Amino acid sequence: MSTPFQLLRINGGQDRPTIKYILYYTKFWSTDNFGYGFGQQSFIVNNCSVNNCFITNNRSLLSDIKDFDMLIFHSQNIKDHQIPVARSPKQLYVFFSLESPINDNIDGFSEEFQSFFNLTMTYRRDSDIFSPYGEMTSIRTDSRDNISGGKMDKKELNFKTIDDRKLVAWVVSHCQTDSQREEYVKELKKWIPIDQFGKCSKNKNECDDSCYGNLGTRYKFYLSFENSLCEDYITEKFWNTLEQSMVPIVLGSGNYKDVAPPHSYINVQDFKSPKELAEYLLKLDKNSKDYNRFLDWKTSHRIQSSRQYFKGQMLCDLCEKVHNTEKKVYSSFGDWWEKDKCSRLVEN
């Protein structure tokens, strides 16, 4: 890991730069560096326009924890640490979560978190630093990319008239969920076959990364059902499916129309019942022309779902924010993060 002395050498021995020090105050699950890295080099290799930041998990790097310019708190790990008893007025506290308020392991309404955080870094689009699981971009007409979701000829995308892939797959390890997705699937299974993998399967079928990454060669549809029905909460279940030649069937409260490619998914909320959805899937199974329309978007849009890609963006945003003299406080953090942000699936 770089040291402050090495940091000055990187900057060419000029007058001492305005270095901002960022501290990982918690772990990210079991990861010390959040997967972002340490030192200043992380900002340099990601080509950040503002890179005079130094990031570490070493609380002893500076003489006092109040000397750090920014502290990052991962929601799931906050309870593993004592909250700082004193802070400098200059410090920025960052709330980071990729989990929904249902599963974030903190009570956002508790008194200790009111007027505690200055910045938010989450999957929510109204966060100060947006950290999505994936995103859609349009393909430039001169693009030569040939990645998943990249510019391809329709002949490469559409399956043959006879498509012998199986109907629906679902990989799940969180068996009892707030969204009650398992109840919907239970009803859906009465009408169509669903191959279920993961810890929640009766036969404990496993689906490792190799299996999961190749489901599109074996199945036409995938159940991209979220464990929580919360605002903007659209996870890798959706984006990873789009990267394959499968059609995601979504159950969630994200604004899919705004973030997803046109005509790329099927929303359970557009159907009166699981039976009606099943009937529609069976029709698509018999009609390759109608099914392939759900893949036409791949000629005009691209999907980016690499967490490493987004980590680079987040690092750059953190460095830019810590240099910003403007400072705000989430005085009612629970209202922003939790109040009226989640719902339950209601049976029709």
So which residues are the catalytic ones?
99
Sheet holding 194-197, edge to edge: 194-197, 166-171, 219-225, 247-251, 266-267
Q: Please give the span between the terminal C-alpha atoms of the chain, in angstroms, as a whole number.
A: 56
Handedness of CA 34, 39, 40, 41 (dihedral sign): negative
Distance of alpha carbon 236 from alpha carbon 259, whole angstroms:
13
Q: What is the DSSP string of 278-297?
A: HHHHHHHHH-HHHHHGGGGG
Distance of alpha carbon 143 from alpha carbon 152, whole angstroms:
10
Helices of type H across the chain: 4-10, 41-45, 154-157, 181-188, 209-212, 236-243, 256-259, 274-286, 288-292, 307-322, 333-337
Total Cβ atoms within 10 A of residue 45: 12
Distance of alpha carbon 90 from alpha carbon 258, whole angstroms:
37
Q: How many CA atoms lie within 13 A of 131 on its CB side?
A: 25
29: left (phi over 0), alpha (psi -120 to 50) or beta: left
Burial 169-179 (b: 16+ CB within 10 A, else e): bbbbeeeebbb
Distance of alpha carbon 335 from alpha carbon 333, whole angstroms:
5
- Going by C-alpha positions, the residue among 131, 157, 147, 127 that lies closest to residue 236 is 131
CB 204 within 8 A of CB 290: no
